[in-house]
Structure 1
Amino acid sequence: MGRPKQFEPGIAVSAAMEVFWRKGYAATTPQDLVDALGIGKGSLYHAFGSKQKLFLLALRHYGDAQVAALAERLRAPGPVKDRLRAALQELAQSDLADPDLRGCLAVNTSAELISVGREAAAVVRSVFDRIESVLRAVVEEGRRAGEFDARRDPQEIASGLLAVIVGMHVLARTADGPDRLNRIITAALLPL
């Protein structure tokens, strides 16, 4: 009879995600992960195979949570433009309120791709694609409701909004307040 696992893998992935998000992939050591997960190195490698494999699981977990949260925010009642504004403002406020100024794990990973490799790039691309898909769906809803210019391509608008979100995550890491991010949100939504 084998020994039972001493930890819950889902909880371990969440804990690892927090470490990677705070420190970045390259700066996170196996010892950092062992300390955060409360397991031995042998158990870490037995359960996850490698630091990179655990990172990919953590990145997927992060991406799933972010896409689901954005989709949920955009399902709120009310005019689409108001929902988009509220979602962007919530993202900005969340980034600005983070005492560690971590930004977005997917965006941070895209800046660190030389360290994390092609598999991580594919995960980040998937996160961005899914965010863009959520944005496109809400833009199409706005067009059907007559809120947005029907001549504008919903995919182009969604791509532009994705770029706004990525840029806001980067800018929030050095912001000394919400003013710049609020101006970006206003500028992004004006032409809709």
Structure 2
Amino acid sequence: MSHPKQASKKAGEVGQRGRPREFDADTVLANASQVFWDHGYHATSIDDLCKATGLLRGSLYGVFGDKHGIMLAALDHYSEGAVARLAQRLAAPVEPEQALRDALLHYARVSCALSGRRSCFITNTTLEMQPDDEELRARVAAIQRRMATLLAATVIRGQANGAFDSTLDEKAVGNFLLCVMQGLRVMGRVAQEEDALTGIVDVAMRALV
């Protein structure tokens, strides 16, 4: 299994007359993410990726190695935005318990809005992951650690102001809240009512006090 090459902000593609044509790697990866998100890794073909990105097969292989390499790079690109958005929600200028509840409610709302297969790109990828895909497993584990760490930091702030039980282990609670977030995503795939998912958020918040 080949490793993806490091994609620069601008990468080159050789045009019909042999002249290099620059393309924006972020745009390519965003478009590739959309295809994998919509169809899943195994149902996505290189032709699908060429059509979505506007690049030739050789250009995609030249930068990312193979379809698996494109998938890893697309997941990296998507997860950077997902982690940054979670960090921004948790750092909102409100009390930490309110920031946490609002963040979880956001996932409840989004889960209902994106019901069906599309759901969440990270969640879909995790569910589709093959047991022997160690590279992808490592990527997903790293994303989960980053999100759990952000959630744990918010719990610590809530413990400091007396909103949350000070005896709770913040690492365990961070992982618990990550499970809640991912569970909301999975349940949203079968078009759960928003009120039902909001109830789950309320139960999770009560578990922290």
User: TM (normalized to structure 1)?
Assistant: 0.93
Query: Which residue of the partner structure matches residue 18 of structure 1?
Result: 34
The structure carrying a bigger helix percent of its residues is: 1
User: What displacement does 1:165 show?
Assistant: 0.6
Q: What percent of counterpart residues are identical?
A: 37
Matches within 5 A, 1:30-179: 30-98=46-114, 101-114=117-130, 117-179=133-195
Partners of 1:101 and 1:172 within 8 A in 2: no
Which structure has greater strand proportion?
2
Please identify, of 58-67 and 27-36, the stretch whose mean Cα deviation from structure 2 is larger.
58-67
Q: Distance in 1 between matches of 2:198 and 2:61?
A: 44
Distance 1:166 1:96 in 2: 13
Contact 1:25 1:115 in 2 (8 A): no
- Paired with 1:19 and 1:76, the residues of 2 have a C-alpha distance of 32
Distance between the aligned counterparts of 2:32 and 2:64, measured in 1?
A: 11
Offset of residue 87 of structure 1: 0.5
Q: Residue in 1 aligned with 2:203?
A: 187
SS of 2:23's equivalent? coil
Cα distance in 1 between the residues matched to 2:77 and 2:116: 20
Separation in structure 1 between the aligned mates of residue 131 and residue 19 of structure 2, nearest angstrom = 35
5+ unaligned residues in a row in structure 1: which ranges? none
Letter in structure 1 aligned against 2:165: D
Amino acid at match of 1:87: A
Q: What's the secondary structure of 1:174's corresponding residue?
A: coil
AA of the residue aligned to 1:83: A
Structure 2: distance between partners of 1:188 and 1:176: 17
The answer to whether the Cα contact below 8 Å between 1:142 and 1:148 also exists between their aligned partners in 2 is yes
User: Offset at 1:70?
Assistant: 0.4
Q: Deviations over 1:52-80 (max 9, x none)?
A: 10100001111111111000001111221
The Cα of 1:175 is off from its aligned counterpart by: 2.1
SS of 1:70 mapped into structure 2: helix
When the two structures are aligned, how many residues end up with a matched partner?
192
Q: Which amino acid aligns with 2:80?
A: D
The one-letter code sitting in structure 2 at the alignment partner of 1:179 is D
CA RMSD of aligned residues (A): 1.8
Give the unaligned 5+ runs of structure 2. Answer: 1-17
